[in-house]
Chain A
């Protein structure tokens, strides 16, 4: 029952992670380029903490989450989980380490097999990794259903019989089945009603306290990230722009993209809201298959200088624990 304060010990270390998807064209399916969905990420996640990963649609958040769990084979870089390089493990060894890292998906409808009962869905990881008798397994499934706040009498029902929030709980129960240390939450609340969002987030927080879980929490909802995350990484076009503890990031953002993102969050006071100054970004996100030279944000940056268009900014520690990729910060 330890408090989920980050102990400082690194659980997951990602270094220079790149995930490029090749583009084939023409009659002979020649490779003509890459979609650089994730292009050189480095960060670590400490045991017991929640790292929030935010960014707009298509910036590579989900790809990062999947590459960290090796659901994709990364093009370059390493992902070490307690010192084991997950990105280059053989399939057999990977299978052994799978139980320790799990995933919660965005779409609670799509992540459950419509032809399996809830019991069978939650029991699948147990069948794959633990040798249990049928009764033990059933007990375990009932425990898990209780843990996520579902009535165990639903064990023989099918996913379509549940609401979105309940389905997400089933997904969480499946992720918890093998007692993992690390869970990637890929926008777990994006598809839910606001009232249900709070329930699911509270459930995730309670589970973290009880079981000492470590989360990589992917979201585009800044207020939710502010609520749940200990540290926050801001992504733009396959790269991390800024990584800082929650308080620092929200009170003293250094990167112009972070500032623009934060200024998009409305303030719940009409007087302030009417008068406050907003940074509004112009233009669109460039294509990840042809990112700009230099800083990826230079095309939309309000303060870009000549240097920004030619030289890629270095990933540097501006203040203790606050990392920024910007020349001008």
Chain B
């Protein structure tokens, strides 16, 4: 009897206090919107994303169309960002290049974060695998990356281009090459955090309940190492965009006439004294993307942490 009445009372107090089931997604969104930087960041990022995805359909100038008579022009209505030394429209090239750069950046970041987090969590959680996995991480850290990338690209460019088309092939190649050479920092940071977390009492409590390891990882470990993963993810996007530009610069990335932000940047370097804006446009685009993603990540990390949320 007492059970029934107490439950009724409990249900009444739910409504009394006005604290009905709070939806977690709602909570997270509320906290996210209180973070000014995150709001501005996501606004900028989605603006850029929208521009590069929809832009080429609206701004229909061909980014590879050579118009030698209108080369080296400054900012005008016909060419908002001016034209380059071959008379190609820089705005169209920026939009087209942004598609590739952002796609490479996001996918390579995803790959490297997933790889890094998986290696880190497994190494930290299962003591037997710790040694082998961390030595593997050390091995990758010790590899000279640029020569390795050169080898990967020369070895796999042809077969991949044959099966996925020249652009699709090189995209897959770029993303996987950048992904598998940049997961190590994430893995080390995550492993350290997991090692500390594993000794906490709530993991022991889960073990005493009989929670199997895989659910222990998904329920208790992963949510608590979200912060370092988030940070490496946002930094990873910047890293991926810049690595892609370096590779394009070395002639190992996308074909030379295929614009990406990194390639635009490097192509403009010899002309910097005469036409500084050619460097500024892609530079600003890369920086803005990286910065806005960083702020977004920051806001998301705070929003996902219940301790931050209540403040």
The one of A101, A152, A156, A161 that contacts B21, using a Cβ cutoff of 8 Å:
A156
At the interface, yes or no: A128 with Cβ under 8 Å from chain B? yes
The interface centre, meaning the residue of B13, B209, B219, B224 with most chain A CB atoms within 10 A of its CB, is: B209
A12–chain B nearest beta-carbon distance, Å: 15
A115, B200: Cβ atoms closer than 8 Å: no
Interface residues of A (CB under 8 A from B): 66, 69, 71, 94-95, 98-99, 101-103, 105-107, 110-117, 124-125, 128-129, 139, 142-143, 145-146, 151-153, 156, 158, 160-161, 171, 174, 178
Q: Which residues of A contact B201 (CB under 8 A)?
A: 105-107, 110-111
Bound Cα distance A97, B219 (Å): 22
Q: Which residues of A contact B307 (CB under 8 A)?
A: 114, 158, 160
At the interface, yes or no: B204 with Cβ under 8 Å from chain A? yes
B208, A128: Cβ atoms closer than 8 Å: no
Q: B1-14, CB under 8 A of A: which get 1 and which 0?
A: 00100110010011
Please give me the residue from chain B that is nearest to A115 by CB atom: B223
B105–chain A nearest beta-carbon distance, Å: 28
At the interface, yes or no: B130 with Cβ under 8 Å from chain A? no
A71, B202: Cβ atoms closer than 8 Å: no
Given A143-B3, A156-B21, A161-B310, do A128 and B211 touch, yes or no (CB 8 Å)?
A: yes
Return 29 A-B CB contacts under 8 Å, by A number.
A94-B210, A95-B210, A95-B212, A98-B208, A102-B209, A103-B208, A110-B201, A111-B204, A112-B202, A113-B219, A113-B223, A113-B224, A114-B224, A115-B224, A115-B305, A124-B206, A124-B209, A124-B211, A128-B209, A143-B3, A152-B7, A152-B10, A152-B13, A153-B14, A153-B16, A153-B17, A156-B21, A156-B22, A174-B205
Q: Which residues of B contact A142 (CB under 8 A)?
A: 7, 10
Bound Cα distance A156, B26 (Å): 13
B31–chain A nearest beta-carbon distance, Å: 12
B256–chain A nearest beta-carbon distance, Å: 49
Q: Which residues of B contact A139 (CB under 8 A)?
A: 7
A292–chain B nearest beta-carbon distance, Å: 30
At the interface, yes or no: B220 with Cβ under 8 Å from chain A? yes
Please give me the residue from chain A that is nearest to B202 by CB atom: A113
Q: Which residues of A contact B3 (CB under 8 A)?
A: 143, 146
Q: Which residues of B contact A66 (CB under 8 A)?
A: 204
Bound Cα distance A66, B208 (Å): 9
The interface centre, meaning the residue of A95, A102, A128 with most chain B CB atoms within 10 A of its CB, is: A128
3 A-B pairs with the lowest CB-CB distances in the bound complex, closest first: A98-B210, A152-B10, A111-B201
Does more than half of chain B's interface fall in helix, strand or loop, or is it mixed? helix
Q: B197-241, CB under 8 A of A: which get 1 and which 0?
A: 000111011111111100100011001100000000000000000
Count of residues in B whose CB is under 8 Å from the partner chain: 32
A151, B13: Cβ atoms closer than 8 Å: yes
B220, A71: Cβ atoms closer than 8 Å: no
The one of A111, A115, A152, A171 that contacts B306, using a Cβ cutoff of 8 Å:
A115
Bound Cα distance A244, B37 (Å): 65
Bound Cα distance A125, B16 (Å): 29
A71, B208: Cβ atoms closer than 8 Å: yes
Bound Cα distance A171, B7 (Å): 21
Please give me the residue from chain A that is nearest to B309 by CB atom: A158
B235–chain A nearest beta-carbon distance, Å: 23
B89–chain A nearest beta-carbon distance, Å: 49
A102, B208: Cβ atoms closer than 8 Å: yes
The interface centre, meaning the residue of A69, A124, A178 with most chain B CB atoms within 10 A of its CB, is: A124
Bound Cα distance A111, B220 (Å): 11
Please give me the residue from chain B that is nearest to A146 by CB atom: B6
The interface centre, meaning the residue of B205, B306, B310 with most chain A CB atoms within 10 A of its CB, is: B205
Bound Cα distance A152, B310 (Å): 19
Q: Which residues of B contact A128 (CB under 8 A)?
A: 209-211, 215
Bound Cα distance A66, B220 (Å): 20
A37–chain B nearest beta-carbon distance, Å: 16
Known contacts A71-B208, A128-B215; 16 additional CB pairs below 8 A are: A107-B201, A110-B201, A115-B306, A117-B306, A125-B209, A128-B209, A129-B209, A129-B210, A139-B7, A142-B7, A146-B6, A152-B7, A153-B10, A156-B22, A160-B306, A174-B209
Please give me the residue from chain B that is nearest to A159 by CB atom: B306
Bound Cα distance A102, B204 (Å): 11
At the interface, yes or no: B76 with Cβ under 8 Å from chain A? no
A111, B205: Cβ atoms closer than 8 Å: yes
At the interface, yes or no: B154 with Cβ under 8 Å from chain A? no
A170–chain B nearest beta-carbon distance, Å: 11
